Amino acid sequence: MSSIVLSTILSLTAIGILSAVILYFVAQKFKTEEDPLVEKLTAVLPGVNCGGCGYAGCRNFSEALVKTKDLEKLFCPVGGNACMQNVANVLGLKAIEKTPLVAVVRCQGSLEYRPITNLYDSEKSCKIAALLYSGNTDCQYGCLGLGDCVAVCKFDAIVIDKKTGLPSVDENKCVACGACVKACPKRLVELRKKGKRIFVSCLNKDKGPLTRKACKIGCIACGKCAKECPFNAIIIENNCSYIDETKCQLCQKCIYVCPTHAIKEENFK
């Protein structure tokens, strides 16, 4: 009996050793050498792994940087231009400066302008609420105010304003990582240039009378802003105006002619 046990142990040991040897040689055959630049690049990146660069984390971004010959399409919004200059120094490439961006919420429909017409009594999640119903007001395009954007922000840059019930972005904390943009089921969050900016703070696609009934400050697509703009920066699609910031010269003329005050200006004071 003891001989059977001993032979079994020896057999299992031999199999284990053989398997280990096979795995070692297989690993050696298929192993890939990591470029030492990956470590250097990861060291100069912020290390927050927010995904704002379009990659899963800073290390994945470093691996993509090592393979590129041009930094035009690769950018770390958290580290900004200073970080990308360090990246360029490591790679021996030219850094491409980009205008800093910030998240803006394209809805001003607070309770003052957009009254509640029904109640939502379920999970406090914009994503879930958007799947179940159009919202607790007559505007199906407006902010639900349940804070999905707040939950995904790693930089504490967004809070729900207790007075308005809408998200409020702290420009000094926002790094334009885009997490809130992806989290909003209504597509109300957009990245725009930091500093002075003008944008239509409404995405209601209903016709004018329906929009006005649902929200006193909604865009009714009257076209006055587009006619007034001397730079052709405003287009009207799906019953809603949109300002192209690449054409907008911040003249503010559109603001003065908007009958519902749906166009918002920030940082002009």
User: What is the domain-level CATH number for residue 253?
Assistant: 3.30.70.20
Q: pTM for this one? A: 0.81
Of the candidates 56, 63, 11, the one whose C-alpha atom is nearest the C-alpha of residue 37 is 63
- Tell me if 268 sits within 8 A of 196, measured CB to CB: yes
pLDDT given at position 14: 76
33 pLDDT tier (thresholds 50, 70, 90):
low
pLDDT of residue 13: 81
Q: Would you place residue 237 in the very low, low, confident or very high pLDDT band (cuts 50, 70, 90)?
A: very high
For the chain, the domain total comes to 3
Q: What is the model's pLDDT at position 36? A: 84
| Packing angle, helices 80-91 and 36-44, rounded to 10 | 160
* pLDDT for 27: 65
The set of residues, in sequence order, having a beta carbon less than 8 Å from that of 164 and lying 6+ positions away, is: 110, 111, 112
Task: Using pLDDT thresholds of 50, 70 and 90, give the confidence band for residue 30.
Answer: low
How large is the average pLDDT for residues 78-102?
94
Last residue of a domain, one of 194, 220, 242: 194
- Quickly count: other Cβ atoms within 10 Å of residue 12's Cβ: 10
Cβ 247 vs Cβ 232: under 8 Å = yes
| Tens of pLDDT, residues 166-175 | 999 999 999 9
Beta bridge partners of 103: 191
**123: closest CA among 147, 158, 150, 139?**
147
Q: Where are the beta strands (DSSP E) in 126-196?
A: 158-160, 167-169, 189-193
Q: Work out the average pLDDT over 56-80.
A: 93
Q: Are 104 and 181 part of one and the same domain?
A: yes
Same domain? 188 vs 203: no
The per-residue pLDDT for 118 is 83
Please, which pLDDT band fits residue 111 given cuts at 50, 70 and 90?
A: confident
Range of the domain at 200: 196-269
- Average pLDDT of the chain? 91
Residue 135 has pLDDT above 60, yes or no: yes
Q: Are residues 182 and 120 in the same domain?
A: yes
The 8-class DSSP code of residue 115 comes to -
CB 102 within 8 Å of CB 194:
yes
- Residue 17's pLDDT band (cuts 50, 70, 90): confident
Q: Mean pLDDT, to the nearest integer, of 4-14?
A: 74
Percent of the chain with pLDDT over 90: 77
Q: How high is the pLDDT of residue 120? A: 78
Query: Of the candidates 194, 223, 255, which is a domain's last residue?
Result: 194
CB-based contact 61:55 (threshold 8 Å): yes
How does residue 62 score in pLDDT terms, banded at 50, 70 and 90? very high
- From 153, 177, 194, the end of a domain falls on 194
Please report whether residue 10 resides in a domain: no
Q: Please classify residue 15 by burial: count the beta carbons closer than 10 Å to its beta carbon, then call 0-12 exposed, 13-18 middle and 19+ buried.
A: exposed
Name the H helices within 113-167. 126-132, 148-152
What mean pLDDT do residues 145-158 have? 96
Arithmetic mean of pLDDT, 120-131: 87
The answer to whether residue 159 is domain-embedded is yes
The answer to whether position 112 is within a domain reads: yes
- The larger pLDDT score, comparing residue 111 to residue 236, is at 236
Please report how many Cα atoms fall inside a 13 Å half-sphere around the Cα of residue 264, on the Cβ side. 17
Instruction: Say yes or no: 45 and 71 in one domain.
Output: yes
